[in-house]
Amino acid sequence: MRLRLITLLTVCLLLCSGTLQASVTLEAFTFTNVDEEQRFKDLIEELRCLVCQNQSLIDSDAELAHDLRAEVYGMMQAGDSDAQIVDFLVARYGDFVLYSPPVKPSTWLIWFGPFVLLLVAALLLFRSLRRQQQAPQQDISDADRQRLEQIMTDSNADEDHQP
Amino acid sequence: MSRYLRYLTPLLLFLLLAGLLYRGLSLDPKIVPSPLIGKPMPAFTLPRLADAGATISDTDLKGKVSALNIWATWCVSCRAEHEVLLELARTGKVDIYGLNYKDNRADAQRWLTQLGDPYIANAFDADGRTGIDWGVYGAPETFIMDKDGIIRHKHIGPLTREALEQEILPLIARLEAAQ
Amino acid sequence: MIPELGHFALILALCLSLVLAIMPMTGSLANIPRWVAMAKPAAWGQFFFTAIAFACLVNAFLSNDFSVAYVANHGNSLLPTVYKVSAVWGAHEGSLLLWALILSGWTIAVATLTSNLPAVMLARVLSVMGMISIGFMSFLLFTSNPFERVFPVPLEGGDLNPLLQDFGLAIHPPMLYMGYVGLSVAFSFAIAALIGGKLDATWARWSRPWTTVAWVFLTIGITLGSWWAYYELGWGGWWFWDPVENASFMPWLVATALIHSLAVTEKRGAFKRWTVLLSLMAFSLSLLGTFLVRSGVLTSVHSFAADPARGLFILIFLLIVIGGSLTLYAWRAPDVTSGGRFSTLSRETLLLGNNLLLVVITAFILLGTLAPLFYDAMGWGKISVGFPWFNTMFVIFTPLMVVLMGLGPMARWKHQAPAELLRTYRMALLASLAAGILVALPLLHDGSPWAGLAVFLSVWLVSSLLLSLRQRYRNRASIGKLLKNPAARGNGSYFGMVIAHLGVAVFIIGVTFVSLFEEEQDVRMSPGQSIDMAGYTFRFDGVRSVQGPNYRADQGTIVVTRAGKQEAQLTPEKRTYTVQTKPMTEAGINAGLMRDIYVSLGEGLGGGDWSLRLYYKPFVRWIWLGGLLIALGGLLAALDRRYRIGVRRYASTTAPASRKSLAPGA
């Protein structure tokens, strides 16, 4: 089934073959301080390698990824803000270059979907709890009911520590 | 009835999923559509492939229906589409310009000499920066521009006769007829 | 000759699958005992011929028979023997054959190890498994024949992808497949129960150990995959939320919900319909994963060569199996009677709540995985849903689950008074909060609130386990009983729970701490140069060339010291394999319980200088340690003697073997 197998796709359409790259090193970009390096890493983590099979720019060894990383670095050195760099790439490659979808009305489904699902699940839970508690109960005398409760609590005490 | 609906929900959800997957079989997840369609083509000024001293820029492509083909000698599919490009050039219906992408000048020139040259002129993009401006992510790619230099179509992958007949040539005819 | 034999064996196996699928089921419905009795022999026959086919393919690889196309593509005479064998399942066709083999193996396991199950029920279970076999066998024979010949015969094979020439990755697929296929047993039990109309605690008791064992294999498979990615891929990543990874994680999540749900159905007779639905869903997700990996519908670093034609075949198979099972569910589930009632606060509700959370998590993972496809299909453009999104969502939802997990062990069945629960957990809650805040404070730089949260959750889990242990062994008599007879009924399940939940706590610490506190440097080093990081000194001693069995490598030497004492000498390599020449990295790792030191070789920069990546990864091993603990817990639970003793006594006395004869639904 889903073998962690990579086929050597001889896809010449794309700049890199579809193999998982096992030899990635970031180019020797120099940064003046740690914060700047971290900013660079944060940026390229959020950008997608377009020719690769589901990798971000920080993971990919494809040529285009090299070029795009150089582009991001160049823009950072030129003083562009994060937003400007991202907009630059989105203008040329579309939303797909963002590794995670942007938050806009068309992607609300993705960003709010999980929480909607959670709400639906909670609703289902409460409804089914109420339904099963309202199930008709047979009439038994109070004395019998008390006896039953007693028995139930006893057996419960044992059961509680059985998973 | 609503009782049964509750139990039918998993099946209904699955059928929707199956429909989506079926549709997915005819889609290619690797194709990235271009956001540049409908926008003016990115400006560029690059040295020519044939003559490093001369330049070519986007203005050279304006004023007529033109095509820009991104290609390189290291790209195997470009070799495959070359025949089709030559055919397109022979029809004379569109001016084909080339963007030689991250290639070796000597190799590229030799290629054109050996295999035929369908291009009016070739721009030499050594570092690929112009390619990035055009949103190139793989070779070959072909852009079709109208007379005002607005990008109207991007063909991803090698051109085929099919694509030529069904998409490219009709589009060129429409663009020619406009205004 | 032998490949043809294998091919023929496969055809015979398909024929027997047809017999297995049709006759016992029909016999059980039309009351024909002779047909019902055909189940076991047919199952054995199916296994026998599938095994022969598999052996033939193994033989083709071992004897370097490049006239077989599959061997020509993936085999090589220079390949070490162990990888010649693992190459059998290294690509699409062979891995399908492995699937079929494992499926027929589980079928005979069910046939032989459940001799006390009523013959009619067993016949139905085996028939359903036979139907699934038909699907895989036909898929093999009609679209993906591993025995196809190629002419002219190449002199040498294309070699197994170097990334797969690794022991961890050799056993990772078999482990995963054991898990996926194992879930088909739960599926088949559910179908058989729906057909028979008897969905009671007995069914749950039968289903539970099988499901748990499948779940254990799946846990091991996923843990192995993560560990492999870490040491093999060269940059220390261990989970990528890649579609294929998600395709293995989703069945695991649902299977986790299932084993807990089965517990409730077995004990209290409640959740019957929900448990059945989960049984159907778990295997359905396994099959969905098969589709996603082999159809080309999604981009993934893991997918096989995409072939939409094959994709269509699998999709039709999905429609028949999943569509059919859900239709059966829609038809029969309404008639299933509900079991024991329970209050709004009770162990049942907590378990149900967690079940739902697990399903919600599964649902949003499915959402994120399929969203790009959905948007593309609707014409809304191309979007990418990557690692950051999945991580964000997962990190938001998991704490909710862990909180409920902590409350579960001490909550009473049927009815739990809130005040009592609060009292029980007061100290545990305080301790967890204190620990969390303590961790979050001193390191008040970026990310430490998350560390605090992780510590809070882990301490919460561990304290809940301690509370439970104290309650169960509150007097010397109970401890004495445990020591005298550790393998008594119920102990396996209980300690399995303890260890598995402990594993989750360990996992949370591992994941959070390595993500927050790992350190990394990309450097250029000359021979003899030293660099300091995370309190360690890394000295680069240059690179030399070495020769392996089927590769040549540049091997670097890095000596790692701490306060003057040598900690490790690491030898990362950059290998170029003889046949598939794309360079591959082998990282140099010094593993430790509390931290890994990890170095990977980059590029030679001339003059003896090399670019290197240096990592300090604290607590990273806790990730897989947690996974192993979880698997171990499951194994203990599955081996609980009550499944074996209870079963036999049930058969002989026809009365429930459980002591809890007063509890409804037992």
Contact C496 A163 (CB under 8 A): yes
- The pLDDT of residue C282 is 97
Identify the residue among A13, A50, A68, A106 best suited for mutation to test binding to B, counting B beta carbons within 10 A and taking the highest. Answer: A13
No. of H helices and E strands in chain C?
21, 10
Q: Are residues A80 and A56 in the same domain?
A: yes
Considering the domain architecture, whether residues A13 and A76 belong to the same structural domain is answered as yes
pLDDT at C657: 41
Q: Coil, strand, or helix at residue C611?
A: strand
A70 and A121 in a single domain? The answer is: no
Give dist(CA C637, CA C86) in Å, integer: 31
Report C:456-485 residues touching A (Cβ under 8 A): 468, 471-472
The share of chain C scoring above pLDDT 70, in percent, equals 94
- Residue C377 CB neighbours (<10 A): 18
Contact at CB, A92 and B36, closer than 8 angstroms? yes
CA distance, residue A80 to nearest chain C CA (Å): 23
Count: domains in chain A: 2
Question: Before C449, cis peptide (omega within 30)?
Answer: no
The confidence score (pLDDT) of residue C63 equals: 93
Domains belonging to chain B, first-starting first, are 38-177 (3.40.30.10)
CA distance C62 to C66: 11
Alpha carbon distance C269, C534 (integer Å): 55
Whether A30 and A96 map to the same domain: the answer is yes
Same domain, yes or no, for A41 and A116?
no
* Predicted confidence (pLDDT) per residue in C77-90, tens digit: 888 899 999 999 98
pLDDT above 80 (res A137): no
| Distance in Å, alpha carbon of A34 to nearest chain C alpha carbon | 11
What is the identity of the amino acid at C437? I
The answer to whether C189 touches C125, Cβ cutoff 8 Å, is yes
Q: CB distance A64–B137 less than 8 Å? A: yes
- Is residue A2 very low, low, confident or very high in pLDDT (cuts 50, 70, 90)? very low
Listed in sequence order, the DSSP H helices in C236-334 are: 243-268, 272-295, 308-318, 324-332
Maximum pairwise Cα distance, chain B = 80
B24–C323 CB contact, under 8 Å: no
Smallest Cα distance from C362 to chain B, Å? 15
Question: How many angstroms separate the CA of residue A138 from the nearest CA in chain B?
Answer: 23
| Closest residue, chain C, to A10 (C-alpha) | C305
Q: Which of residues 291-330 of C touch A (CB under 8 A)?
A: 292-294, 299-305
Residue A71 within a domain: yes
> Which residue is associated with the tokens 């430490």?
C448
A38 and A15 co-located in one domain: yes
Q: What CATH number is associated with residue A78?
A: 1.10.8.640
**Domain co-membership, A88 together with A123:** no
Does residue A92 sit within a domain?
yes
Tell me whether residue A147 is in a domain.
no
Distance separating alpha carbons of residues C220 and C216, to the nearest angstrom = 6
For chain C, say whether B23 makes contact (Cβ under 8 Å): yes
Q: Specify whether the CB–CB gap between C570 and C588 falls below 8 A.
A: yes
Q: Does residue A159 lie within any of the structural domains?
A: no
**Neighboring chains of B (3 or more beta-carbon pairs < 8 A):** A, C
Nearest-Cα residue of chain C relative to residue A2: C293
What are the boundaries of each domain within chain C?
A: 1-165, 173-416, 519-619
Which of A24, A117, A163 shows the shortest C-beta gap to C234?
Answer: A24
Of B77, B78, B135, the CB nearest to A93: B135
For residues C661 and B105, give the distance between their C-alpha atoms in angstroms, rounded to a whole number.
87
Q: Do C344 and A133 touch (CB under 8 A)?
A: yes
Chains meeting C at 3+ CB pairs closer than 8 A? A, B
The C-alpha atoms of residue C284 and residue A83 are separated, in whole angstroms, by 42
- Which of B7, B23, B29 is closest, CB to CB, to C330? B7
Asked if residue A163 is part of any domain, the answer here is: no
Is residue C530's pLDDT more than 60? yes
Per-block average pLDDT, block size 10, for chain B (179 residues)? 80 94 85 88 91 89 91 89 91 91 91 91 90 90 92 91 89 84
Same domain, A88 and A122: no
Residues A71 and A134 in one domain: no
Which residue range is the domain that position A123 belongs to?
103-138
Residue A3 lies in a domain: no
Give the pair of three-digit tokens for residue A56: 């971000």
Give the percent of chain C with pLDDT over 90. Answer: 58
- Chain B contact for A96 (CB, 8 A cutoff): yes
Residue C186 has pLDDT above 50, yes or no: yes
pLDDT of residue C324: 95
Q: What pLDDT was estimated at residue C463?
A: 94
What is each CA distance from C189 to C106, C121, C252, C280, C283, in whole angstroms? 13, 8, 18, 10, 12
Q: Contact, C129 vs C42, CB < 8 A?
A: no
Give residue C445's pLDDT: 56
What chain A residue is nearest to C356 in terms of C-alpha separation? A121
CATH pick for C519-619 out of 1.10.3120, 1.10.3470, 2.40.50, 2.60.98: 2.60.98
Mean of pLDDT values over C5-22: 96
Q: Are residues A56 and A32 in the same domain?
A: yes
Residue C561 DSSP SS3: strand
Residue B137 to residue A50, Cβ atoms within 8 A: yes
Contacts of B14 in chain C (CB under 8 A): 284, 322-323, 326
Give C-chain residues touching A118 at CB under 8 angstroms. 357, 360, 397
Which residues 6+ apart lie within 8 Å of A24 measured at CB?
Answer: A59, A60, A61, C234, C235
Closest partner CB to B35 (pick from A13, A50, A94): A94
Contact at CB, C387 and A56, closer than 8 angstroms: yes
- My answer on whether A43 and A84 are in the same domain is yes
Looking at the complex, report in whole angstroms how far the Cα of residue B70 sits from the nearest Cα belonging to chain C.
22
- Residue whose C-alpha is closest to residue C543's, from C557, C528, C531, C523: C557
Q: What is the pLDDT of residue C483?
A: 86
Nearest by CB to residue B137, choosing from A10, A51, A90, is A51
If asked whether residues A128 and A112 sit together in one domain, one would say: yes
Joined together, the tokens standing for residue C587 give: 């990282």
Q: How far apart are CA A74 and CA A96, in angstroms?
A: 22
Report phi then psi at C57, rounded to 5. -70, -40
| Average pLDDT of the residues of chain C | 89
Nearest to C383 among A107, A118, A121 (CB): A107
Instruction: Give the mean model confidence (pLDDT) for residues C544-556.
Output: 89
State the CB neighbour count (10 A cutoff) for residue C258.
32
Instruction: Return the residue of A nearest to B159 by Cα.
Output: A13
A18-32, A114-128, C152-166, C242-256, range with the lowest pLDDT: A18-32
